[in-house]
């Protein structure tokens, strides 16, 4: 691309946007790899890499997170109509700018490491992969390279059983680096293309073997009924909507009680029950429902567990990662402003995602906590036998639902656990331990579905060791580089 800075700007902006399209719901890694090759070129050869790097990351996030614009209109949470769209656009742009700055910092580091060296490239790729794991535990919804293999390339996603999303992101960057070297090499081009082909075959073969190592069958079965109310959030707290929801819940309770063979649980999505709402009648089966509770610390969004014959919850797990402004209000204790939350702000719960129950413990992700694979791996290591994703996902479009589905499939592969999603507007689904979609309720309308899963107790390598192998490899590479530099100076 030469020394023309405008060419670098245009190429980086286009590559970042293309990378955003390559992420779920498409999940096309082969579309992502050329975009990563451009990013490696920026880190190595751009005359002024700061702006191209910023544009690459900005475009990636703006395209992949464009569903943020569907927050508009915000009148249902008290935001005046003239301010609604500007606020939504500002939130969208702020997320894009944050992504651009993160990529900029990474490119600055890569430039110092010398990206032409394979060891330096591996260091940089590992750093990116581990950074994604940290970002996924933060306050914002994170969709990065670690989720980019699904739904189109389940074999590559199988690497998640070995090292989680951090390993997948590292491998994606490594493939992009090899493609960049193959395209840029004039003398040894054939060698680089052959190496790229070998790596592609190796990582796909390893991913496929990892999937095959997860038992396809053999666990004890559990039968569940999933209730998908499909009540728009903007009308959720209206009296008519509340009556309709309780009517659906009562119908679901009665149907679940009459099923033969009997079912173990009835599942409802995030926020299905208002604060203080008991079940309409004593249930004959266990009910796991999203709702709210109010301990002394403040109101919390929770997954509530109702035992058979109990109208009040007997156990719960609170949402740990709250949506900034939407649920969690900065300095709420000192300001009389409730933010966007119709409840006036929520308090976070404990970090643990493990919910004990008589039929076997489960790992719980409430809404976009599904982005945090590390937390669900910890819950699986502690004894969770299957995973439950409880979500609302309204007023967001099918785009976000597709991303949610891809994350659900990746979490199942990482942990070797079956996963059930109960979502207000969809996707309510069942995924097996190898990340295959088993059942899916129609999106955007009320529905009930019987889902039969298998409980699992085995541990994948990722559940056993989390990100420690990646971290140890990165530290060893840093130490080795330091030793080499010391020897060079001597």
The residues annotated as belonging to the active site are 270, 319, 367
* Strand duo 315-318 + 386-391: pairing: unpaired
Residue written as token pair 């493609």: 179
Number of helices (H), then strands (E), in the chain = 13, 12
Q: Is 21 helix (H, G, I), strand (E, B) or coil?
A: helix
Strand partners, 422: 390
- Total residue length of the chain: 490
- Cα separation, 287 vs 277, in Å, equals 13
Relative orientation angle of helices 81-113 and 29-45, to the nearest 10 degrees: 60
Q: What angle do CA 67, 70, 75 make, to 5 degrees?
A: 150
Q: What is the DSSP string of 109-146?
A: HHHHH-TTSHHHHHHHHHHHHHHHHHHTTSSS----GG
Please tell me the distance from the alpha carbon of residue 426 to that of residue 282, in angstroms, as a whole number.
Answer: 27
> Which residue from 317, 320, 302 is spatially nearest to 137, judged by alpha carbons?
320
Look up residue 146 and give its two tokens: 């670690």
Q: Decide: helix, strand or coil at residue 34.
A: helix
Q: Which of 159, 150, 112, 107 lies closest to 131 in space, CA to CA? A: 107
Closest CA to 224 of 269, 286, 307, 317: 286
Cα 270 to its chain centre, rounded Å, is 16
Element (H, E) at 46: none
CA dihedral 348, 354, 360, 362 (to 10 degrees): 80
Give the DSSP letter string of 365-416. Answer: EEGGGGG-HHHHHHHHHTT--EEEEEE---S--HHHHHHHHHHHHHHHHHHT
Token look-up 């309308």 returns 445
Q: Which secondary structure element, helix H or strand E, spans residue 290, and what is its range?
A: strand 286-293
- Torsion angle in degrees (nearest 10) through CA of 322, 326, 332, 337: -170
Residue 215: Cβ within 10 Å count: 13
If one counts every other C-beta atom within 10 angstroms of the C-beta of residue 463, the result is: 22
Tokens linked to 426: 């969809």
In this structure, what token pair is assigned to residue 375?
A: 């937390």
Structure tokens at 319: 């949402």
Give the integer Cα–Cα distance in Å for 362 and 382.
10
């Amino acid at each position: 691309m030469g020394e023309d800075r405008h060419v670098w700007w245009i190429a980086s902006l286009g590559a970042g946007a293309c990378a955003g399209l390559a992420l779920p719901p498409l999940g096309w890694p082969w579309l992502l790899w050329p975009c990563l090759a451009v990013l490696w070129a920026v880190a190595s050869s751009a005359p002024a890499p700061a702006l191209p790097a910023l544009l690459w990351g900005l475009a990636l996030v703006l395209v992949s997170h464009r569903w943020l614009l569907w927050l508009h209109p915000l009148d249902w949470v008290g935001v005046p109509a003239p301010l609604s769209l500007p606020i939504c656009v500002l939130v969208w742009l702020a997320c894009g700018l944050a992504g651009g700055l993160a990529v900029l910092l990474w490119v600055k580091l890569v430039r110092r490491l010398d990206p032409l060296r394979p060891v330096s490239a591996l260091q940089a790729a590992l750093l990116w992969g581990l950074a994604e794991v940290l970002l996924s535990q933060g306050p914002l919804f994170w969709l990065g390279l670690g989720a980019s293999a699904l739904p189109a390339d389940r074999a590559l996603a199988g690497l998640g059983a070995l090292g989680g999303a951090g390993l997948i992101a590292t491998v994606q960057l490594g493939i992009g680096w090899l493609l960049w070297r193959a395209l840029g090499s004039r003398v040894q081009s054939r060698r680089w293309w052959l190496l790229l082909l070998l790596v592609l075959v190796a990582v796909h073969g390893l991913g496929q073997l990892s999937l095959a190592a997860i038992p396809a069958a053999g666990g004890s079965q559990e039968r569940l009924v999933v209730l998908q109310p499909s009540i728009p959030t903007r009308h959720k707290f209206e009296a008519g909507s509340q009556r309709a929801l309780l009517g659906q819940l009562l119908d679901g309770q009665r149907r679940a009680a009459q099923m033969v063979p009997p079912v173990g649980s009835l599942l409802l999505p995030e926020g299905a029950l208002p604060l203080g709402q008991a079940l309409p009648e004593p249930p004959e089966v266990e009910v796991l429902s999203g709702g709210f509770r109010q301990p002394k610390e403040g109101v919390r969004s929770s997954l509530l567990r109702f035992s058979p014959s109990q109208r009040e919850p007997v156990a719960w797990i609170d949402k740990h990662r709250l949506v900034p402004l939407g649920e969690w209000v900065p300095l709420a204790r000192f300001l009389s402003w409730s933010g966007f939350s119709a409840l006036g702000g929520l308090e976070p719960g404990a970090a643990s995602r493990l919910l004990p129950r008589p039929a076997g413990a489960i790992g719980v992700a409430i809404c976009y906590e599904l982005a945090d694979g590390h937390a669900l791996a910890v819950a699986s290591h502690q004894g969770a036998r299957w995973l439950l994703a409880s979500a609302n996902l309204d007023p967001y479009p099918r785009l976000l639902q597709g991303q949610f589905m891809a994350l659900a499939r990746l979490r199942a592969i990482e942990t070797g656990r079956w996963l059930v999603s109960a979502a207000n507007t969809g996707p309510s689904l069942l995924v097996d331990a190898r990340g295959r979609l088993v059942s899916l309720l129609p999106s955007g309308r009320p529905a009930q579905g019987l889902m039969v899963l298998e409980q699992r107790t085995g541990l994948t390598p990722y559940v056993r060791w989390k990100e420690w192998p990646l971290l140890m490899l990165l530290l060893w590479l840093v130490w080795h580089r330091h030793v080499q530099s010391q020897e060079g100076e001597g």
